[in-house]
A and B are shown apart, each in its own frame.
Chain A
C-alpha cells in the first residue's frame, strides 16, 4: 500500500475515535471529556452522568458508527454495480420496501382492526421494515437472474420504488392521525430510538454485511470495466450480483429498519472517499468508505443533537453540497 494511503487511513481512524468521543459529550446536558472518559473506564464520576453516557449516548454513537459505515459501503457497491455515480443504497428499492413494511405494520394493522399495542412496539416496526426491504430485494434478485442488462434492473428498481410509494400513500390516506404521525416520524430517521437489544441484532447483521462486502471486492473491481469484461475475466456476474444484493440488504436494509431511511450518506460518502484516496480500487475504497461513512454519520449526529433536528434533514443538508461539488468537479475535469 502506498504511504499516502496509510497516512490517510491512520488520520481517518483517529478522526473517527475523536468524533466518537466528542459525540458522547454532546447532548441536552453537556458532559466534559474527562467525565466521559471516567464513565467509559468505570472511573470516578457522578452515577447519573455515567448512566447518560453508557445507556444513552454510547448506544447512539455506536449506532451512528455502524449506520454510517453500512450505508456508505452499500452506496459504493451500488455505484459500481450499476456504473452510475448517482446510485445509492436505496436505488434497488430497499428504503421503499422498508417503508412499505413499516406502513403496513403501523397503518395497515390498525385498519384491519389489530390492537394498537402490538402495532407500536419498536422491535415489530424494525422487523416489518426488514421484511419489507428483504422482500423487495428478493424480488429484484429473482428477476435479475433472468435479466442480463443491469440498466433494466435499475429501471425495475426505480419502478418498484414508485409503485410501493403509491401504496404507502394510499395507506397514509386511509390512516388515523396517531398512526400517521409515528409513520412520518419513522421516515425522518433517528439514531436514538435503537435499544440495546436492537443493537444486538443490528451489529451482527451489519457485520455480516461488511464481511460479505469484503468478499466481493474483487468482483467489484472487475465490474469497474463493465459486465462483458468482468465475464471474460472469469467472473460469474450472476453470482456476484446476488452476493452484492444480499450484502446491500443486510447493510442498508438493516440500518433502514432500525433507524429509518437516512438519505445522502450512501450517495455522497463513496465520492468523498474516491476523491480523497484518489483510487478506484475497492480494496482501498471499501474500508475508506466505511470509515468516512462513520465520520460523516457522527458529524451529522453531533449537528443534529446540537440543533435538535431530525438526523435525516442534517444528512441531506450536509450531503447535497458534497454531491453537487463532486458532480461539478468531475464535469469540469473531463
Chain B
C-alpha cells in the first residue's frame, strides 16, 4: 500500500534518510520510531505529499505520488498532524465533514452519503455523542479522536499520523493506539504513525519502522523486542 523506493528525504544541506526502501501493507498498523531530529515528521510529510523527496519515490496504492493530482492524492492518503486544532464555534461534526472535501462540489455541499460517512467515522472513534460539541470545549484526547474521525471520513486506504499520542495521558495513549490498531485491522487501512512510546509499539503495532540514520529498517513487533538496535539507538535495555 505504501512503498518507499530508494527514497531520500531531508533538506538540501542535510539528508535525513538516504535511499531507503520499505513496503507497508493494507490492514497493518505500523509505528515509526526514531530519535528527535532523525526525520520522522519529514518522512511522514513526504508520504502525504507535503514535502518533496530529495530522491527516489513514494508509491501509494501502486501509483507514484509525484504524478498524482492533489484531488487524487486527497482520496489516497489522509493526514493527522501533531498540532491541535481548536477553532471556536466549529463543531466536531463540522471538522469531520471537512474530511469529505475531496468528494464534495466547489461549494462543499454534503450529500446523504457524505453525512452517513461523517456519522460512521465519529462512531468508529467513539465520539458519536460529541458531534455537536464545539472543538474548543473538548479535551486533548477527544480532539485527537475527532481528527482521526476526519481522516476516516476522507475515506482513504492510507492514514498517516504524526505523534498522535503526544499531549495524552497514559490511559489516553493506550486507548488511542488500540483504536488505531482496530481501525487498521477492521477497516483494512494502512496506518502509519510516529511515536516515542516504545511500550505501545511493542504491545499494539504490527510492525515498526526504525530510523537508524540515515537508514530505515522495518521489523515486526517481535523482532523489534529482540533487536539490539533499540538498545543502541535509545540506550535502553528492551528485554
What residues on B are CB-neighbors of A228 within 8 Å? 45, 50, 79, 81, 83
What residues on B are CB-neighbors of A224 within 8 Å? 85, 87, 90, 98
- In the bound complex, CA of A281 to CA of B104 (Å): 15
- In the bound complex, CA of A252 to CA of B79 (Å): 35
Does A325 reach chain B (CB closer than 8 Å)? no
Does A233 reach chain B (CB closer than 8 Å)? yes
Contact B102 A233 (CB under 8 A): yes
**Interface residues contributed by chain B, number (CB under 8 Å):** 31
Closest to B108 in A: A218
Contact A226 B79 (CB under 8 A): no
In whole Å, how far is A215's beta carbon from the nearest beta carbon of chain B?
Answer: 7
What residues on B are CB-neighbors of A226 within 8 Å? 81, 83, 85
Contact B85 A232 (CB under 8 A): no
Cross-chain contact of A229 among B79, B88, B107 (Cβ < 8 A)? B79
- In the bound complex, CA of A222 to CA of B99 (Å): 9
Cross-chain contact of B99 among A217, A233, A281, A333 (Cβ < 8 A)? A233
What residues on B are CB-neighbors of A229 within 8 Å? 79, 81, 85, 98
In whole Å, how far is B112's beta carbon from the nearest beta carbon of chain A?
Answer: 16
What residues on A are CB-neighbors of B99 within 8 Å? 233
Does A225 reach chain B (CB closer than 8 Å)? yes
Closest to B104 in A: A218
Does A334 reach chain B (CB closer than 8 Å)? yes
Identify which of residues 268-300 in chain A touch chain B, using a CB-to-CB cut-off of 8 Å. 274-275, 278-281, 283
- In the bound complex, CA of A75 to CA of B160 (Å): 34
- In the bound complex, CA of A215 to CA of B106 (Å): 7
Given contacts A218-B107, A232-B48, A232-B50, contact A280 B88 (CB under 8 A): yes
Cross-chain contact of B95 among A225, A231, A232, A275 (Cβ < 8 A)? A225
Residues 75-105 of chain B: 1 if any A CB is under 8 Å from the residue's CB, otherwise 0?
1011101010101111000110011011010
In whole Å, how far is B114's beta carbon from the nearest beta carbon of chain A?
Answer: 13
What residues on A are CB-neighbors of B89 within 8 Å? 274-275, 278-280
Closest to B79 in A: A232
What residues on B are CB-neighbors of A330 within 8 Å? 88
Closest to B77 in A: A232
**Interface residues contributed by chain A, number (CB under 8 Å):** 26
- In the bound complex, CA of A308 to CA of B79 (Å): 56
What residues on A are CB-neighbors of B154 within 8 Å? 233
In whole Å, how far is B37's beta carbon from the nearest beta carbon of chain A?
Answer: 19
Cross-chain contact of B70 among A217, A235, A279, A334 (Cβ < 8 A)? A235
What residues on B are CB-neighbors of A234 within 8 Å? 70-71, 73-75, 101-102
Does A162 reach chain B (CB closer than 8 Å)? no
Does A145 reach chain B (CB closer than 8 Å)? no
Closest to A233 in B: B101
Does A236 reach chain B (CB closer than 8 Å)? yes
What residues on B are CB-neighbors of A313 within 8 Å? none
Does B49 reach chain A (CB closer than 8 Å)? yes
- In the bound complex, CA of A226 to CA of B81 (Å): 10
Does B195 reach chain A (CB closer than 8 Å)? no
What residues on A are CB-neighbors of B48 within 8 Å? 232
Does A221 reach chain B (CB closer than 8 Å)? yes
In whole Å, how far is B100's beta carbon from the nearest beta carbon of chain A?
Answer: 9
In whole Å, how far is B125's beta carbon from the nearest beta carbon of chain A?
Answer: 17
Contact B74 A232 (CB under 8 A): yes
Cross-chain contact of A231 among B50, B88, B98, B108 (Cβ < 8 A)? B50
* 23 pairs, CB–CB < 8 Å, chain A vs chain B: A215-B106, A217-B107, A218-B108, A221-B98, A222-B98, A224-B98, A225-B98, A229-B85, A232-B73, A232-B74, A232-B78, A232-B79, A233-B98, A233-B102, A234-B70, A234-B73, A234-B75, A235-B70, A280-B88, A281-B90, A283-B108, A333-B88, A334-B136
6 A-B pairs with the lowest CB-CB distances in the bound complex, closest first: A234-B74, A232-B79, A280-B90, A218-B108, A233-B101, A280-B89
Chain A residues engaging chain B, CB cutoff 8 angstroms: 215, 217-218, 221-222, 224-226, 228-229, 231-236, 274-275, 278-281, 283, 330, 333-334
